[in-house]
Amino acid sequence: MTEAIAYIGLGTNLGRRMAHLEKALRRLEDRNGVRITQLSSVYETAPVGYLNQPDFLNACAEIKTTRSPMDLLHILLDVEQELHRVRRIRWGPRTIDLDLLLYDDRIIQEEQLVVPHPRMTDRSFVLVPLAEIAPDVVIPGTGQTVAWWAEERKQGSEVVKSPYTLNLQSLTAAIKEVPEKWNR
């Protein structure tokens, strides 16, 4: 099977947020047929939908995969479960959230999976980190690039780059000291 390029959104707002991002990336990298090729910076964002919860840390990853879109979705759900994701409140707090944003240039409309992610063009917390690693990728069905959408949604959004970075080679923190506010 040929390799596809997919983009994953990551989010966390409970516990040791940086550790959750790192563990999720390590577990994805450990899966057969999944190889992380690019990582965005980490951003802090206010919650959307359900507001009575801590701020989120968000990032995006580009992966190359030989897995089908549905297989990849199941891998993401398995990693969420391994990291104790609990689904109690829609858009509520979570240890980790992994979303399949794009899979090559495909449009997928299935009961369990919609790609491109149906709300990605409304969410600065997805678009800003994604534009960092894939600015020229056209979001299928929209005719516009990720960078165009990020600019379109930037006004009024609070997406703040954190001082923390993820190192692609080791998937470990590439900064000596992470301020406590980023690890809440």
With respect to residue 49, please indicate whether it lies within any of the assigned structural domains.
yes
With respect to residue 44, please indicate whether it lies within any of the assigned structural domains.
yes
Q: Give me the domain span that covers residue 98.
A: 4-119+160-172
Question: Mean of the pLDDT values across residues 133-137?
Answer: 98
Question: What is the C-alpha to C-alpha distance for residues 142 and 132, in angstroms, rounded to an integer?
Answer: 19
Question: Mean of the pLDDT values across residues 28-55?
Answer: 85
With respect to residue 113, please indicate whether it lies within any of the assigned structural domains.
yes
- In the chain, the amino acid numbered 72 is L
Give 138-144 contacts, CB < 8 A, sequence gap 24+.
138/105, 139/102, 140/102, 140/105, 140/106, 140/107, 140/115, 140/116, 141/107, 141/116, 142/116
> Which CATH number covers residue 106?
3.30.70.560
Question: What is the C-alpha to C-alpha distance for residues 10 and 17, in angstroms, rounded to an integer?
Answer: 11
With respect to residue 43, please indicate whether it lies within any of the assigned structural domains.
yes
Q: Render pLDDT for 163-175 as a digit per residue (tens, 0 to 9).
A: 877 777 665 343 3
Instruction: Give the pLDDT confidence score for residue 164 in this predicted structure.
Output: 77
What's the residue count for the chain?
184
The number of domains in the chain is 1
With respect to residue 179, please indicate whether it lies within any of the assigned structural domains.
no
With respect to residue 91, please indicate whether it lies within any of the assigned structural domains.
yes
Which amino acids are annotated catalytic?
A: 85, 94, 97, 99
With respect to residue 109, please indicate whether it lies within any of the assigned structural domains.
yes
Q: Which of 43-47, 81-85, 124-128 has the lowest mean pLDDT?
A: 81-85
Q: Render pLDDT for 119-132 as a digit per residue (tens, 0 to 9).
A: 999 999 999 999 99
With respect to residue 129, please indicate whether it lies within any of the assigned structural domains.
no
Q: Across the chain, what does the average pLDDT equal?
A: 85
Instruction: Give the pLDDT confidence score for residue 163 in this predicted structure.
Output: 80
Location of structure tokens 């063009």: 121
